[in-house]
Chain A
Amino acid sequence: MNKYIVPNLLRILILFLVQILVFKQITFTLDNKIFVHFLIYPLAILQLPIKTPRMVLLLVAFILGIGLDVFYDSLGIHAAALVLTAYIRGIIIAMIEPYEGYNVNDVPTIRNFGIGWFVYYLSLALIIHIFVYFSIEAFSFVYFFEIMLNSIFSFIVSFIVIMLSQLIFRPKF
């Protein structure tokens, strides 16, 4: 178990830095209405080992979220969305459990479960995260249409970036 701590901490740190140093800067708008955000940090939570205790997941998500919020000047928004994502991660993993089940030390990667499973897992978790994120940001379902558009476009770009990173680096842990 211990061999997972260092790579995961590293991954969290790298994703955190990449998010605030790179992807925060290339946020853009379409048609002056649709906000397209690159949200790649959920990967840090999604790629923790499958049997990670839920408590740990939630705490890591909370700390990472608050850290991002400090840089995004949006105290609580990323944290709230990420804590929710961490909470439902277990449900998604249970939902799409492969026929042979999970091993104790499995890490949700392409290498371990194949690209089909990973795309399924990532898209489900990511779309929920992004939708929740924009909902909390708008803080009112009066803007439901805008929230939907923002979510869809942001999901597409974030998904592409995360998939590319997975295919390029093919992480073992």
Chain B
Amino acid sequence: MYNVIQLLIKYGAHILFVVLEIICFTLIVNKNDTQQAIFLNSSNVLAGKLEAQRSTLLEYSNLKNLNDSLLRENATLIENLISIEYSNELIPGSDTVLAQYSLIPTKIINSTINQRNNHFTLNKGSREGLYPGMGVIASHIGLIGIIRNTSDNFAHVISLLNSQTRISCTVKNRTGHGTLVWENADPLRMTLISIPKHEQIEVGDTVITSGYSTMFPRGILVGKIESIKVPPGSNSYAITVKLFNDLTSVKYAYVIQNRFAAEQIKLENEVGHE
């Protein structure tokens, strides 16, 4: 007991200081709203920092899922763009046209660009609804090619940069249509042939898909006209088109699913056989 009293005498001021500060802080935390909020918050700041660290660490593993969802979102947006193009230009108010095209997002897993006949491989196949003859685009701006062959899980695409490529194209706000081919070895330029030379066409015009096939809807932007020539003795232009998209760096692609393709091809074949 004596010791306790002696201790109190010796350290009384310090003890009193601690006691008074404890009283003060108890009052501060209990009676003041802001400090109470901050008291709870400060721990949250720490927790929040930890959470942020954790999420940055785990972000990389989520990137794949994130990419997939973005791809799906993009597919829907491009579908809408195509639908708008059609609802403006073709049959107003037709529901079937709006639903004609849908897009399947895919990833390009293999590509060549430096050969005379270039190819792509996509990471989805017939299991996902991909079939030979479907068009492949990079986005609303830019074609990629046409599916030539599919397996269960992969699809083989003939690139635009291929000597076999023939895509029906037209010039925006002009009449007449021609065929887009790849003649020179430049991966950024293609040639639009067989537009009759009486058509009015100028350098700088935009080349779009014509929609005269089951592969691509009308209005996918392809490129800009860079130069126009008329080969001697020919009745049509040879137009150099600079592509909007760079096929050497493309990583994702959308396959265009045309719900009425089979119907159209069947009908056209019947007419052909007669």
Using a CB–CB distance below 8 Å, which chain A residues touch chain B? 53-55, 58-59, 61-62, 65, 69, 74-77, 79-80, 83-84, 87, 136, 138-140, 142
Q: What's the Cα separation between A55 and B35 when bound, in Å?
A: 28
Q: What's the Cα separation between A128 and B98 when bound, in Å?
A: 73
B32: A residues at CB distance < 8 A: 74-77
B26: A residues at CB distance < 8 A: 76
Interface residues of B in 25-72 (CB under 8 A from A): 25-28, 31-32, 34-35, 38-39, 41-42, 45
Minimum distance in angstroms from B12 CB to a CB of chain A: 6
The listed residue (B16, B31, B39, B42) touching A55 by CB distance below 8 A is B16
Q: Verify if B20 is at the interface (C-beta below 8 Å from A).
A: yes
Using a CB–CB distance below 8 Å, which chain B residues touch chain A? 12-13, 16-17, 20-21, 23-28, 31-32, 34-35, 38-39, 41-42, 45
Are B42 and A142 within 8 A (Cβ)? yes
Are A79 and B24 within 8 A (Cβ)? yes
Are B45 and A58 within 8 A (Cβ)? no
Are A87 and B17 within 8 A (Cβ)? yes
Residues A80 and B25 in contact in the complex (CB < 8 Å), given A140-B38, A140-B45: yes
Q: Can you list 15 A-B contacts with CB-CB less than 8 angstroms, sorted by A residue number?
A: A54-B13, A59-B16, A61-B20, A74-B32, A77-B32, A79-B27, A80-B21, A83-B20, A84-B17, A87-B13, A136-B28, A138-B38, A139-B28, A139-B39, A142-B45
Q: What's the Cα separation between A80 and B34 when bound, in Å?
A: 16
Closest residue of chain A to B39 (Cβ to Cβ) is A139
Q: What's the Cα separation between A75 and B36 when bound, in Å?
A: 12
Closest residue of chain B to A56 (Cβ to Cβ) is B13
Q: What's the Cα separation between A84 and B28 when bound, in Å?
A: 15
Are A77 and B28 within 8 A (Cβ)? yes
Residues A80 and B28 in contact in the complex (CB < 8 Å), given A55-B16, A62-B20: yes
Residues A65 and B28 in contact in the complex (CB < 8 Å), given A138-B38, A140-B42, A140-B45: no
Most B C-beta atoms less than 10 A away, residue of A53, A84, A139: A139
Q: What's the Cα separation between A69 and B23 when bound, in Å?
A: 13
Closest residue of chain B to A73 (Cβ to Cβ) is B32
A74: B residues at CB distance < 8 A: 28, 32
Known contacts A58-B16, A59-B20, then 7 further A-B pairs from the complex at CB < 8 Å, ordered by chain A residue:
A69-B27, A76-B23, A77-B28, A87-B13, A139-B34, A139-B35, A139-B42
B13: A residues at CB distance < 8 A: 53-55, 58, 87
Closest residue of chain A to B28 (Cβ to Cβ) is A76
Q: What's the Cα separation between A59 and B32 when bound, in Å?
A: 22
Closest residue of chain B to A81 (Cβ to Cβ) is B24
Are A76 and B16 within 8 A (Cβ)? no
Q: What's the Cα separation between A69 and B32 when bound, in Å?
A: 11
A80: B residues at CB distance < 8 A: 21, 24-25, 28
B39: A residues at CB distance < 8 A: 139
Q: What's the Cα separation between A76 and B22 when bound, in Å?
A: 10
Are A76 and B24 within 8 A (Cβ)? yes
B45: A residues at CB distance < 8 A: 140, 142
B41: A residues at CB distance < 8 A: 140
Closest residue of chain B to A83 (Cβ to Cβ) is B20
B31: A residues at CB distance < 8 A: 75-76
Residues A58 and B17 in contact in the complex (CB < 8 Å), given A139-B35, A139-B42, A142-B45: yes
Minimum distance in angstroms from A170 CB to a CB of chain B: 31
Minimum distance in angstroms from B38 CB to a CB of chain A: 4
A76: B residues at CB distance < 8 A: 23-28, 31-32
The listed residue (B12, B17, B24, B38) touching A65 by CB distance below 8 A is B24
Q: What's the Cα separation between A59 and B15 when bound, in Å?
A: 12
Closest residue of chain A to B26 (Cβ to Cβ) is A76
Q: What's the Cα separation between A54 and B41 when bound, in Å?
A: 35
Closest residue of chain B to A142 (Cβ to Cβ) is B45
A59: B residues at CB distance < 8 A: 16, 20
Are B27 and A84 within 8 A (Cβ)? no
The listed residue (A53, A58, A77) touching B20 by CB distance below 8 A is A58
